[in-house]
A and B are shown apart, each in its own frame.
Chain A
Amino acid sequence: MANGEEKKMLPESQAVPPEQIAAENVPVAEAAAPVEVVPNVSKESPAARPAPVAAAQPPAEESLALVRAAYEHPLPIRITHWVNAVSLFVMVASGLRIFRAFPTFGPKIPERVLLDIPKSLTIGGWLGGALQWHFTFMWFFAASGVLYLAYQFLSGHYRTVLFTAKDISGVWPMARHYFLFGPKPPVTGQYNPLQKLAYTSTIGFGVLSLLTGVVLYKPAQFSALAWLLGGFHLTRLWHFAAMCGFLAFIPGHLIMVVLHGWSTFVSMLSGWKREPEYQE
């Protein structure tokens, strides 16, 4: 990270406690240095601070151990992310068990097994148990998706992640970097074009899995939607395809989290990304 950038932005900082502003000209300590020794001094809880503030004041270079951080993931995003992660896991594992009961997309007679899903990859124990999991977590899955989309669009936060036409040209350089050891394109924002494409695609998979799920669950009540999706048989195939989309996304997503390290993982828990690569 560039120290020049840090200095430039320092005066705008809102996080520096007032009593420390006078000391701002003191050289900034190495940003990543952890400081755990002194009691917490917070502008948000002045009442909790011990009275002799000046006496408790830590050495200047320690108290000014500033780090760059961005509040990347607002609370509604984090909650829906984790509810969705849990329910997606349950939906896939129980869905595979349901698929085992009729593991093909062809006719019942003659039945040709397309895929033999190992029981160990499934949950529910049997078809009825898997259906219970599926019919329970479909509500969590749907609710997390609807709330996520509602929040993204009402807050305008979606602009950071929605894949649009101007991102198209950036996909190939990023893919070349990830998969073919090409040069790393400059980091310009929270998400690069390939990430935007991946995340936006998952929304497509989610919408597809919900619409097809509604039809498979209630093909008579939603007969018009069933017709639009190409009928009951094709709908079952689309439902499976949406799951395959998620299964293609998840390993890449997890690998990237591991590669980018602890701070990326923590950011989806706390909201704060430590030392983001992008500026602005």
Chain B
Amino acid sequence: MNIKRIAVLVSKEFRYGSKNTIFFFAVIVPVALSLFISLLVGTLFAGRPRLGVADLGESQLVENLSGLDYIVLREYDSPGLLREDVARGALDMGLVLPLAFDPELKAGETPSLDVYTWGESLLKHRTTLGATLLRETIALAGYEALVETNIILLGEEPSVPWDVRLFPLVVIMTIVLGGTMVPATFVVQEKQKRTLQALLVTPVSMGEAMAAKGLAGVIISLVMGVIILTINGAWGGQPVTLLILLILSATMASAGGIILGLLVKDFSTLFTAIKSIGILLYAPAIVYLFPEVPAWIRRVFPTYYMIGPIVEVSMNNASWGEIYLDVIILCVLIAIMIAIAALVLRRTNLADV
């Protein structure tokens, strides 16, 4: 292995490979996914009841409701727009406050309220919104709460918010897209264009060519991993540990990409393979979505070791002592993957492809 030759090849991969569609996807998809998940967590997965208010006057109720974290409040200028949004399911409930709602309420008169409820809204959302409106309206009328509530938590299972559950999925997609797909695409592209034959006329060996492609994948995966951790504010207190883990995970992904690239004969087969084994690659991240599923299940999948330590360190601030076993397994997996890649390379005569 000649480091200088590999460096030249890596720079070539970036120069020409960056025009490749998959390279583009490896850069764009993780960022887009991260932003998309932020949007979803803020709305859909939050699972909060969504209330819309069209205030025809200047009711204090709107301000009081806007301070509640457990509902999503949206204000409307027009009752018509509010009704439309309830009808299409953008809101669970819509409330039209009349012009003199507050003065009438405080004077003990009977103000009228138009309430629209989306027919597909969950009962628990209707109950929550109904109770909230009752409490806030009574508070606005000047009455105090009649009881004190003392909340006691039972059990030891921690609450796992959706952004934390989805984080492993973003991490694994970032690592797989950059680390696996990019090197695999580079290899298949060379096979299809038969450019490896030309390369072998030079002093470059096949091993060096593959190492360069793998290294390019590691670099893309690492850079994107750094960007994703930054976007998600997930560096925690151990940035160096996370960098090391990202490099190891990217290396395993990249070795997998080289094996895949060597085994498949064209892009069509490569994408069909990815399409089908994708579910297995992402399986541990899918298991993370359901905290009630026993943790050992995700450990069955080799890709768990690519994301598990990263998730533990960034989300739970785990120490080396807590993750060392997973890291050892990751290193063993990397060694196995590199050995398989070398074996496949030896058995594949790429020059004749």
Does A pair with B?
Answer: no
